[in-house]
Structure 1
């Protein structure tokens, strides 16, 4: 039976021209730089993909790309049926797990004749992993919620234009960046009030507030009671 392009898993090494090219495809695509870098532009993103990262392009994502240097990329094409629903482009740090995935894909690419059962299973695992991966800007928020964070900082981590970042963030999380950060701060403030004997003033600083009055006003607005009263209700 003939299987058209886009309906089967393909994993192979590819090189890209120094001339700009533009297209979109019906399948999802994961790119691992092996040598050199790749300029990729989408409607909302503009990035330089280098060997420290991999990048996932969802189906029907129109993009422009080129490489201005000698290059080699490991590319995994995955049919829609393999992908999480409403999958979005993702810029992924090539940590230990993703490096191991790249190694396994490279081994399959060497052996591949058509689309093997092992490659299909690996593609399904990759798709599941993509669904579980944390976006760099969201991970940054969780690690730095008690610091001043700007939209420009977060957008840069995702290689998004700042004007598009907030709408993308809301699509992913269901919340605005400001609300998301506030919710994390509230969760941490309540945890510290429950689990420590630290003063409310100290907790306010730990949660990123410059003064106790501003922390108290914020807490009352969200919880309806002051931090001190909240702590007393736990006893």
Structure 2
């Protein structure tokens, strides 16, 4: 039984729970997607290319685009996290990471090691969408992080080039990007816009921005928006909902969660304290 099916722009997160002696409805493939099968508990098998493989703990199994397969159980139930990621998106990330080099994307079917980071990304994606407080740049960051993890944690022809340290280009503390955020904080800001302002690829932009500022781009944008909200709370009598939208949040709920996470109290409590 599938009880999670979250689709993003370049990836999809699913979870299946198979009872004993059960299987996927049909043998199937996933078009132009790679799919990772990550066992969470129990005992699950996958049949592919006339071979049967058990999904063992600390293993991840990757099916390539077009490969037909089916998950099934024997006498024990099993729960599996499935993560799909589009081949063309992986090609795009690879091309940007390696400054224009291209290569056929493929991975070893069985990969050994902890899946904790993949599970964490899935949990983050579900949590963000559950509360409805995602914005475009957070989703883009999440998917680029997922792609980086796929390349870093799985064996394939990319390994030697991918794992080779590449020197980041010199950049004056990303001043243009920071200025852009401070000017456009109350509008929707995308990763493409910030990367374009920086003059470097998205892959390096994300890495360099975090190294220089200590924040991810979305965290920094939230910080700037909250700073402006504090100023409005202190110096105006505007309604809190109005302030939330005025500084760039997509909903009152997302503003309140971000505000309380940073300051430990909600906006109305904050306003009461500064007025006493």
Q: Which has the higher contact order (CA 8 A, sep 6+)?
A: 1
Question: Which band: TM-score by shorter chain?
Answer: 0.3 to 0.5
Q: TM-score, normalised by structure 2?
A: 0.39
